[in-house]
Amino acid sequence: MSPIRVPHVDPLPLPGPVWLFTVLLLVVFTLHVVAMNFALGGGLWALWNYLRGRSSPHRNSRRLADELSQMLPSFLAFTVTLGVAALLFVQVLYGNFLYTSSILIGALWLMVIPLVIVAYYGYYFFSYTAEKGRTAAGWILALSVCILLAIAFIFVNNMTLMLRPERWLEMYRAHPNGWNLNLGDASVVPRYLHIVNGSIVLFSAILAHLGMRKMKSDAVYGRWLVQRAALVFATCTGLQFLFGMWLLLAIPRPIAMSLLSEPLMGGVFGLALISVIAAMLLILLGSLAERPSMLVHAGFGVSLLTLFLMVCLRFLLRMAYLRPYADLNALAVHPQIGVIAIFIVLFIGGLATVGYMLWLLARSARVRSAEAAR
């Protein structure tokens, strides 16, 4: 058997402390996953409701599909934009692993780019044609959603392969042209199902939250939305437990055991479990009442917390996987203090600018609704 070869780390020092890159990675990756859940979970919701809404008794479904159609392209835009930042920071910490696994599945990895372009244009097409109820709109939406599902699969393959240097050389020799998948890894399928199903779970929580707000203007539609979203949320959360357990059984035993043996990982895992159960209870209790209550909002908030905890757990698991090959604390660091300060100022400025633009939108919406009321 050939020795395990891992590309050496870059000779240049890290231009900032490891903790800062880690925090930034965890934050932007969480936001990326939220946006991705919008784009993928939202796409699946839109597709189901679009198909269902074509028959006359399901006017709410029709309306929901129309509303989602207007949002999907922007969701995808932010999925990509936030994904770029996550890709940037993960390269700093784990570049030598990520570049290698990407090259091993290079052909499929690069395919992500044209696939996203097609899915993105598909979402735009759907946003322009959904209202007219054309059959083509449904097909195009289905195509976009299928493409996003395929992209998720490619990502899961890469993200699991970067954790398994012991598989690299053999895989490279089998197909040096990049036509590889990491299917020999038992964790790929449950992890994929966990992520796709998770996107439905989180988007359902978002819809329940949005439904509560809709109730102010249209009580019937709002309640329908909250209750339907809560039902899907609960069902898919149940499934999520099954997929999660399958995943735990599929990852190598020593790494699964570290969830119990390492206090930090065990703590995050325990908190995530408590928080997902809390989110489910809050959303179910809040939505089952005759008048859905504020508990739904709380459930949505706890769902976001769960997601963040899951992202942290994912990072800790990655560290556990790569412990034999990488020690982040051993990396040379030479912080570029001045540039970091400029980045932080601009980052806050950027958020403020986006906030200002949203404020302009909200202000004009207020003026318009006041004029309409008059």
Partner 1 sequence: MNYPHWQLALPGGMLIALVAVLHVFVSHFAVGGGCFLVVTELIARRRGDTGLLDYCRRHSKFFALLTLVFGAITGVGIWFTIGLVSPEATSTLIHAFVWGWAIEWVFFFVEIAAAIIYARTWESLPARDHMIIGWIYFVAAWMSLFVINGILTFMLTPGRWIETHSFWDGFFNPTFLPSLVARSAVSLILAGIFGYVTLPGAEEIRSRVARWAALWMVAGVVILPLALWWYFSTIPRFSQLYLNGVLIGVRHAVRGGVGFTLVALLLALICGVWKPRWMRPPVVAVMVICGLGAIGAGEYLREFLRKPWVINGVVYANDVRATQVEELQNKGVAVTANFLTTGGNDQLAYGANLFQLQCGSCHGAEGYRGMARRVDGWDAEFAADILQHIHVLRGTMPPYAGNEEDRKALGAYLASLNPPWHLQITDANRLEIGEKVFNSRCGHCHSVNGNLRALRGAFEKQTPAQVQEAFPALGMMSTDMPNFNAPDDQAQALAFYISHEANKPIAQKPTPQEMPTGSTHSQLRIPFDAGEVR
- Site for partner 1, residues 19 to 38, rule: CB under 8 A: 24
Q: Which stretch binds partner 1 (CB under 8 A): 42-50, 251-259, 266-274, 336-344?
A: 336-344
In our burial notation (b when 16+ CB lie closer than 10 A, e otherwise), range 264-276 reads: ebeebbeebeebb
Nearer to partner 1, 82 or 309 (CB): 82
Q: Binding to partner 1 (CB under 8 A): which residues in 132-191? A: 168-169, 172-173, 176-178
Q: At closest approach, how far in Å is the CB of 19 from partner 1?
A: 15
Q: At closest approach, how far in Å is the CB of 341 from partner 1?
A: 10
Q: Is 1 in the site for partner 1 (CB under 8 A)?
A: no
Which residues have CB under 8 Å from 203's CB, separation 6+? Answer: 37, 38, 40, 41, 42, 44, 45
Residue 122 per-residue DSSP state = H
The owner of tokens 């996550």 is 86
Q: Which stretch binds partner 1 (CB under 8 A): 112-120, 140-148, 238-246, 270-278?
A: 112-120
CA torsion through residues 249, 312, 194, 28, sign? negative
CA torsion through residues 312, 273, 317, 176, sign? negative
- Single-letter amino acid code for the residue at 229: A
Q: At closest approach, how far in Å is the CB of 333 from partner 1?
A: 11
Q: Which stretch binds partner 1 (CB under 8 A): 47-55, 88-96, 139-147, 183-191?
A: 88-96
Select the residue interacting with partner 1 from 18, 26, 112, 256 (CB under 8 A). 112
Q: Binding to partner 1 (CB under 8 A): which residues in 345-374? A: 346-347, 349-350, 353-354, 357, 360-361, 363-365, 368
Q: At closest approach, how far in Å is the CB of 329 from partner 1?
A: 17
What does the alpha-carbon distance between residue 302 and residue 272 come to, in Å, rounded to a whole number?
10
Q: Is 342 in the site for partner 1 (CB under 8 A)?
A: yes
Euclidean distance between the first and the last CA atom of the chain, given in angstroms as a whole number: 80
What CA–CA distances, in Å, run from 107 to 120, 163, 341? Answer: 20, 19, 38
8 A C-beta contact, residue 200 and residue 246: no
Nearer to partner 1, 3 or 57 (CB): 3
Q: Is 289 in the site for partner 1 (CB under 8 A)?
A: no
Q: With CB under 8 A, what is the number of residues at the site for partner 1?
A: 72
What does the alpha-carbon distance between residue 290 and residue 274 come to, in Å, rounded to a whole number?
27
Select the residue interacting with partner 1 from 48, 52, 124, 155 (CB under 8 A). 124
Q: Is 51 in the site for partner 1 (CB under 8 A)?
A: no
What does the alpha-carbon distance between residue 210 and residue 212 come to, in Å, rounded to a whole number?
5
The H or E element that residue 85 is part of is helix 59-104
Q: Which stretch binds partner 1 (CB under 8 A): 56-64, 78-86, 194-202, 236-244?
A: 78-86
Q: Which stretch binds partner 1 (CB under 8 A): 186-194, 224-232, 299-307, 341-349?
A: 341-349
